[in-house]
Structure 1
Amino acid sequence: MIASPKTVKSAMRSALLVGVLVAVTACTAQYRKHGWVPGPDLLNEVVVGVDTRDSVSETIGEPTIDSLVDDSGYYYVSSRIKRFGPKEPEVVSRDLVAITFDGRGVVDSVQRYTLADGRAVPLERRVTDSNLEDKTFLRQLIGNLGNFNPSSFLQ
């Protein structure tokens, strides 16, 4: 059975409409939120000079990041990231609450930072250069002859 021109035209319009809808929805921005930052009501419950690490954990909750080296503070971080089509993801907003402690573990300060307060810090994985790229085994062996001390073997 051969389709009528009216049916073909209707099918083409439907396919075009579906294609346009798919293209429009694919190009809309998508937002993702990562992390959590306590609100002002919870932060008001933290008393500087009175609360300790344990009381802050009970009141606000466990931090996103705990300073591992010197136990100097709790850090709560929240980021909102925008993805738009094939473009690189962009950080739209970032909030950070830093609660620092003194040597006794008592709250020293409560500070709030936003993306406008900071600067981007690129994280790099640094690898030590082996300096062996252009040396063959024989060249390495001959190069180490100057570092050889025969008296260390004779003792």
Structure 2
Amino acid sequence: MASAMAGCAPIVDTRGNMVDNDRIETVKIGQTSREQVQQALGSPSATALFDNENWYYIGKRTETLAFFAPEVLEQQVLIISFDKDGIVSGIDRLDKENGNQVQIVERTTPTAGAEMTFLQQMFGNLGRFNAVDGRGALPTGGIGR
């Protein structure tokens, strides 16, 4: 009975960088440099695509019970903005309430070429091998036997 109950215990999983509030409070707008932010918070999960003015710390904590889909317990995106001198100019936080669910599209993209069955793939190359001449050599000069 105890082993059956242990199998139903929820699994809590943390992915990404869930930054503690204590560490976030060490970052001061107008005072903290990029290097100090990296020492306090670690490397960012992502940076701005075209400039290095925004750093993103992204994390999620989920709970999975048995075979059910994971439930999001906590989700956090911390955005640290820097001015041109590399000093913190803004701190923004987004959480689970700010997020949008994205629906995955279940379509497939057609490709050029013929659709082959399993048997066509298995037997399609029969008869396409190079013939060995009387000396046992392949036409390319390799040894065939």
- Is TM-score (shorter-chain normalized) higher than 0.5? yes
Aligned pairs (5 A) from 1:80-119? 80-119=61-100
1:55 to 30, 36, 57: 36
Higher alpha-carbon deviation: 89-98 or 43-52: 43-52
Counterpart AA for 1:73: N
Deviation at 1:85, TM superposition (A): 1.2
Secondary structure of the 2:9 match is coil
CA offset digits 1:41-68 (Å, max 9, x no partner): 3222222233332221123322232334
Aligned to 2:54: 73
Structure of larger gyration radius = 1
Unaligned stretches of 5+ in structure 1?
1-19, 136-155
Q: How many residues align?
A: 114
CA RMSD of aligned residues (A): 2.9
For 1:94, the aligned partner's letter is Q
Q: Aligned to 2:37, what secondary structure does the other structure show?
A: helix
Provide the TM-score with structure 2 as the length reference: 0.61
Distance in 2 separating the partners of 1:87 and 1:31: 13
Q: Which runs of 5+ in 2 are unaligned?
A: 116-145
Q: Which amino acid aligns with 1:106?
A: I
Distance 1:62 1:123 in 2: 30
SS, match of residue 42 in structure 1: helix
Could you tell me how far apart the structure 2 residues matched to 1:69 and 1:128 are? 30
* Larger fraction in helix: 1
Change over 3 Å in CA distance of 1:115–1:22 after alignment to 2: same
Q: TM-score, normalised by structure 1?
A: 0.58
